[in-house]
Amino acid sequence: MNYNLTWIFPVDAGFLYLLRLHFCETRMEFINENQQVFLIFINNQTAEYDADVIHMSGGNGIPVYKDYTVLVPPGSQSKQDFKYVFNCIVDGVIESNRKFITIVKQVLI
């Protein structure tokens, strides 16, 4: 089955944000590169076309993180929605949990 998993966070406009995504492939049927690839979208832009946790980490059961820097431009509102989506093929139960995402607001100099 094909799924889009989406998280939406309200953030302050006019700041640069560090988005750290944490991954770990624990299903034993995924041990080789290119068995499970997915798209990562950040604020409606493709950040990663063919993300592969086994490739990023070097193997099954090895945690890894990937950092992205995103500018949330100033707008008419002081708060804007920050959207993170990944598109994947998932079998079994989907558990989406915010603890796998770290967002850090940075001061623009």
Instruction: Give all domains of the chain, ordered by start, each with its CATH number.
Output: 2-106 (2.60.120.430)
pLDDT(51) > 60: yes
Contact between 45 and 71 under an 8 Å Cβ cutoff? The reply is no
pTM for the complete prediction? 0.77
Tokens of 5: 């998993």
Model pLDDT, residue 33: 94
> Alpha-carbon torsion 51, 55, 61, 63, what sign?
negative
Q: What is the pLDDT of residues 13-41, one digit of tens each?
A: 888 988 888 888 888 888 999 988 888 88
The residues that bridge with 64 in the sheet, in sequence order, are 23
Question: For residue 5, with 0-12 CB atoms within 10 Å meaning exposed, 13-18 middle and 19 or more buried, which class applies?
Answer: middle
Separation between Cα atoms, residue 53 and residue 105, nearest integer Å: 26
N-to-C CA span, the chain? 45
